[in-house]
């Protein structure tokens, strides 16, 4: 198992699906990343995700269609290049959730995803060399099939929970919309499922 620690712990067991979240640079104040007072990484993730959904701080560049398209294209390109299998994903105003099975080193695939999209976004924004994504990402390796289905439902219901769509498939920037089918999970069940998932995450 690969183990890394920067400001957050990272574990990458081979052959396991990963739930990844990365967000725009400046979308969470630096002093609050990772969240102070949240010793459990699962609770820290839930706190961060709720704050990001509110989009009260920092940039919201992923609302721009050109930038959103660049991120979606890059997600699909990673599949085509054989970097990972992709189960579910969603783009919010300032962050991305993805559930994927790495076929190359997770740090390598994240570097490719974030690097290519940062360059494309900066071109659209008329900038050169400016930081686009927060350097570090949240990740959680999936323990079993049941947890994977809960996480996929959480990802696709994120826009509904944030009040951006009535149904997962109504939101333009998600795997649910791409499939044209509902995640078939109630909002209450989706919220409960992620709490059940994150309660089992390791201590930070």
For domain 14-198, give the CATH number. Answer: 3.30.70.1290
Please give the chain's pLDDT, 204 residues, in tens: 544 444 455 677 788 999 999 999 988 766 665 556 655 566 767 777 777 888 777 899 999 999 999 999 999 999 999 999 999 999 999 999 999 999 999 999 999 999 999 999 999 999 998 999 988 788 888 999 999 999 999 999 999 999 999 999 999 999 999 987 544 444 444 454 454 444 444 332
DSSP string covering the chain: -EEEESSSEEEE-TT--EEEEEEBTTSS-GGGSSPTT--BHHHHHHHHHHHHHHT-SS--GGGSHHHHHHHHHHHHHHHHTTSEEEEEEEE-SSEEEEEEEESS-HHHHHHHHHHHHHHHHHHHHT-SS---B-S--EEEE--SHHHHHHHHHHHHHHHHHTTS-SSGGGSSSBHHHHHTS-----HHHHHHHHHHHHTTSPB-
Domain boundaries defined on the chain: 14-198
């Amino acid at each position: 198992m690969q183990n890394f620690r920067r400001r957050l712990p990272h574990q990458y067991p081979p052959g396991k699906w990963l739930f990844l979240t990365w967000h725009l640079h400046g979308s969470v104040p630096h002093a609050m990343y990772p969240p102070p007072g949240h010793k459990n990484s699962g609770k820290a993730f839930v706190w961060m995700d709720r704050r990001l959904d509110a989009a009260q701080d920092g940039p919201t560049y992923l609302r721009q269609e050109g930038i959103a398209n660049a991120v979606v294209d890059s997600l699909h390109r990673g599949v085509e290049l054989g970097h990972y299998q992709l189960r579910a994903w969603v783009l919010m105003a300032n962050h991305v959730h993805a559930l994927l099975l790495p076929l190359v080193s997770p740090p390598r695939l994240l570097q490719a995803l974030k690097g290519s999209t940062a360059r494309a976004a900066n071109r659209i924004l008329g900038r050169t060399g400016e930081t686009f994504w927060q350097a570090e990402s949240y990740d959680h390796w999936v323990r079993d099939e049941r947890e994977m289905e809960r996480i996929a439902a959480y990802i696709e219901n994120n826009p509904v929970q944030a009040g951006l769509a009535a149904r997962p498939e109504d939101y333009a920037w998600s795997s649910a919309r791409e499939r044209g089918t509902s995640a078939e999970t109630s909002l209450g069940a989706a919220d409960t499922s992620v709490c059940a998932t994150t309660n089992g995450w390791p201590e930070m």
